[in-house]
Chain A
Amino acid sequence: MTSTIDSWSSPTNLGPLYPLVGYEFVMFIACAAALLGFLVWKFRSEHTQYRQMVAELTEPTQFKPASSHSPPTGSPSHQESQDAHS
């Protein structure tokens, strides 16, 4: 049992309503670790991701802005434009 409340009949005496009263500091440490862990993970994963992207992008055929992507061969729009030219 994690509850410190056994009745709602005298609410004026009730203080904390949550379970595991007395473990607040432990939960604080866990939450602080979660925040710190998230930031560390983000810095590391971003570093890896950008290194990988730079490697991809420095290949001459890949070095172009994302917005300038042309329809690939085989897609309907590509096929339509090919038909129009022929």
Chain B
Amino acid sequence: MDQELSALIIIFTEFYYWVTVVMMFLIHVGFCLYEVGVSREKNKLNTLMKNSMLIPVITLGFFLFGWWIYFAFQNGPGISGPLKSVPWSEPWNPLMGPHLGGNGNNAAGLTQEQLDLWPRLNGVFWAAFLLFSWTAGSILSGAVIERIRSGAFWLLSLVVGCVTWVLGAAWGWSDTGWMVRLLGYHDAYASGVIHALAGGSALAILIHLGPRIGRFRNDGTPRVLPAHNTWMIIIGMFLIFTGFWGFYAACNIPMTDIDPDDTAQLFSATTIYLTPTTLSAITFNFLMALAAGMITGYILSHGDAFWTFQGGLGGIITASAGNDLYHPYQAFFVAVFGVWCAYKLHFWVERKFRIDDAVGAVAIHGYCGSIGVLLVGFLLWGYPSSPDDTFAPITPWGQFAGAVMMFLLLGFLPCYGMTAVLRRAGVLRIPREVEFAGLDYQLVHLEQTQRDEFSAAERHDFESGGKEDSP
């Protein structure tokens, strides 16, 4: 009976993550629509391909080293223990491919427990994390549109999507991460480990990249650049919201015996920290945070569609860190606070430092994510961070350290250094002439030439009375 139950749990979990991956694909569809909608007509194809091609780049990187980093670096290494031995995630291990779990050939020294679990969970669990990596890359992509070189962007997104956010997840978003163990860091739905980190990375890149030509007046005030297609933006945002459900589901472990000492067994969904929650709880909180964010964005922007929907996203991101435990009213007011702060900060930073963040990514992901992590420290102060009672409890100072770690140390600093090198090498920004003419300049002219040739041929054939093209 126990074996049948274990088999059922494993097969169910495999299918559960597989479905979340399919849902999360919509996040990327949404990001593509949204970014192309924001970019100008003359840059739309380049914008689309810049974002789309991070999919293969990050996928390869995450298979080759990202997945291994997540498991191997949970102790730092050197902070709460050594580098971990995690054979199932090594890119040359048989468990990183189709495997039935038997010990028949080339088991590569795997234990029976690893052979029972990982053949069915490795691929789907890997893919769920990979989709988070794409999201991290896409957050950067929106901020830097219309002036970054694609090669530089893909390299930066490879580092953020396969190294820095994965380190953040290993340290603060795993059941044995050193930040959870020593700081009591709690970030159930990744406000900090993805959003704050990617927002900090985007800010660092924007500082070196500079604003688009003509974005600021001589007195430093920004010019408004209306989106070329508001419908695309709104549909894109709806798709991001839809994909976010998959993201939330993927952050949970769907079926775990949370009281293994009890003979009666108590099954529940848990967070990534193995602390209990329910899908019902996170459904309440997701929707209340969305509602709060949209209302706040609507009021602050006087009904602007872009900021209303961005507000909805920011609301979810702010509340996400504690949405496993918040009451829906708490999720609501946390989201209101986060979006209000992020909106004000966005325009203040834009004016003060001439930061041209084309989609408000630093505000909605970076500021909302950091604020969400900080608020958990006060609202969930004293809660256990793990089922392991030796771990530190949740505290304001643990969360503050976590927010600094995610936004600044793992987000901002590595990208600031790397972007400085790319800038110095002259491979960061596109030439001014090309920026002015439009990144699709060559393609548009090629297509125009093809249309002209076709039109001329069509006119010629028409005027000749169809004698030349008749069968």
Partners in one complex: yes
Give residues in A with beta carbon < 8 Å to B. Answer: 4, 11-18, 21-22, 24-25, 27-28, 31-32, 34-35, 38-39, 42-43, 46-47, 49-50, 53-54, 57-58, 63-67, 69, 72, 74-76, 79
Cβ of A46 and Cβ of B94 under 8 Å apart? no
A17 touches B98 (CB 8 A): yes
Q: Does B401 contact A (CB under 8 A)?
A: no
Q: Are B441 and A57 in contact (CB under 8 A)?
A: yes
Tell me the nearest residue of chain B to A16, going by C-beta: B94
- Cβ–Cβ < 8 Å partners of A53 in chain B: 431, 433-434, 437, 441-442
Chain B residues with CB under 8 Å of A31's CB are: 60, 63-64, 91
User: What's the Cα separation between A4 and B252 when bound, in Å?
Assistant: 37
With known contacts A32-B64, A65-B437, A76-B455, A42–B150 Cβ distance under 8 A: yes
Residues of the B chain whose Cβ atoms lie less than 8 Å from the Cβ of A25: 92
State whether B452 touches A18 (Cβ < 8 A). no
Query: Could you tell me if A66 and B42 are in contact, using CB atoms closer than 8 angstroms?
Result: yes
Contact A54 B434 (CB under 8 A): yes
CA of A32 to CA of B63 in the docked complex: distance in angstroms? 10
Query: With the chains together, A22 CA to B149 CA distance in Å?
Result: 40
Pair B434/A50 contact, Cβ less than 8 Å: yes
Given the known interface contacts A17-B99, A18-B97, A46-B151, the answer about A67 and B106 at a Cβ–Cβ threshold of 8 Å is no
B207 sits at the interface (CB 8 A): no
Q: List 19 A-B contacts (CB under 8 A).
A: A13-B104, A14-B100, A14-B104, A15-B101, A16-B97, A18-B97, A31-B91, A42-B154, A49-B442, A53-B441, A57-B437, A63-B433, A63-B436, A63-B437, A65-B436, A66-B41, A74-B455, A74-B459, A79-B459
Given contacts A50-B434, A66-B437, contact A13 B93 (CB under 8 A): no
Given A14-B104, A69-B445, the answer on whether A28 and B91 have CB atoms closer than 8 Å is: yes
Q: Does B257 contact A (CB under 8 A)?
A: no
Distance of A37 Cα from B115 Cα, bound (Å): 34
Asked if B451 lies at the interface with its beta carbon under 8 angstroms from chain A, I say yes
Residues of A within 8 A of B455 (CB): 74-76
Measured CB to CB, the nearest residue on chain A to B103 is A15
A18–B98 CB distance below 8 A: yes
Whether B92 and A39, one on each chain, are in contact in the complex, defined by CB atoms closer than 8 angstroms, is no
Asked if A67 contacts B40 (CB within 8 A), the reply is yes
B225 close to A (CB within 8 Å): no
- Interface residue B430 (Cβ < 8 Å from any Cβ of A): yes
Q: How far is the CA of A18 from the CA of B97 in the complex (A)?
A: 7
* A-B residue pairs, 8 tightest by C-beta: A66-B438, A13-B104, A17-B98, A24-B92, A42-B151, A66-B444, A14-B100, A43-B151
**Is residue B105 within 8 Å, beta carbon to beta carbon, of the partner chain?**
yes
Residues on the B chain within 8 Å of A4, using CB: 105-106
Residue B117 CB within 8 A of the other chain: no
B452 cross-chain contacts in A, Cβ below 8 A: 72, 74-75
| Interface size, chain B (Cβ < 8 Å) | 53
Structural contact, B102 and A11, CB atoms closer than 8 A: yes
Q: Is B57 interfacial (CB 8 A cutoff)?
A: yes
CB neighbours (8 Å) of A65 from chain B are: 42, 436-438
Closest beta carbon of chain A to B159's beta carbon, Å: 11
Kindly state the separation between the CA atoms of A14 and B91 in the bound complex, as whole angstroms. 20
Pairwise interchain contact A35-B448, C-beta atoms closer than 8 A: no
Q: Is B350 an interface residue (CB 8 A)?
A: no
- Write the B220-255 contact mask toward A (1 if CB under 8 angstroms, else 0): 000000000000000000000000000000000000
Q: Assuming A16-B97, A39-B57, what are 17 further A-B pairs, CB within 8 angstroms?
A: A14-B100, A15-B99, A15-B100, A15-B103, A15-B106, A15-B107, A17-B99, A24-B93, A35-B61, A43-B151, A50-B430, A50-B431, A53-B441, A65-B42, A66-B438, A67-B42, A72-B448
| Cross-interface CB contact of A58 among B427, B433, B448, cutoff 8 Å | B433
Tell me, in angstroms, the Cα distance from A34 to B431 when the chains sit together.
28
Contact with A17, one of B63, B100, B434 (Cβ below 8 angstroms)? B100
- In angstroms, Cα B101 to Cα A17, docked, is 10
Q: A63 to B437: give the CA distance in the assembly, Å.
A: 7
Distance A24 CA – B242 CA, assembled complex (angstroms): 37
Q: Distance (Å) between the CB of B108 and the closest chain A CB?
A: 9
A35 and B64 within 8 A (CB) = yes
When distances are taken between beta carbons in the complex, the residues of chain A under 8 Å from B421 are none
Q: Tell me which residues across on chain B come within 8 A of A39, comparing CB atoms.
A: 57, 151, 154-155, 158
Chain B contacts for A17, CB-based, 8 A:
97-100
